[in-house]
Amino acid sequence: MNYQSPFKTCFNYMIQFEGGLSDDNDDNGGLTNFGISQKQYPNLDIKNLTMDEAMDIYYKDYFLPNRDLFKYGNEPYLFDCVVNMGRKTTVLIIQRSLNALMANIVEDGVFGNQTKKSLECKISSGLVPLYKATRSEAYRLITAHNPTQEKFLKGWLKRSCSIYY
Q: What is the pLDDT of residues 40-77, one digit of tens each?
A: 999 999 999 999 999 999 999 999 999 999 888 888 99
Tell whether 1 is covered by a domain: no
* Residue 2 domain flag: no
Here the CATH number for the domain that contains residue 130 is 1.20.141.10
The reply to whether 157 falls in a domain is yes
Residue 165 scores a pLDDT above 80: no
CA distance to 74, 104, 138, 141, per residue, from 133 (Å): 15, 18, 9, 12
**Domains in the chain, number:** 1
Domain-embedded: residue 50: yes
**Does some domain include residue 135?**
yes
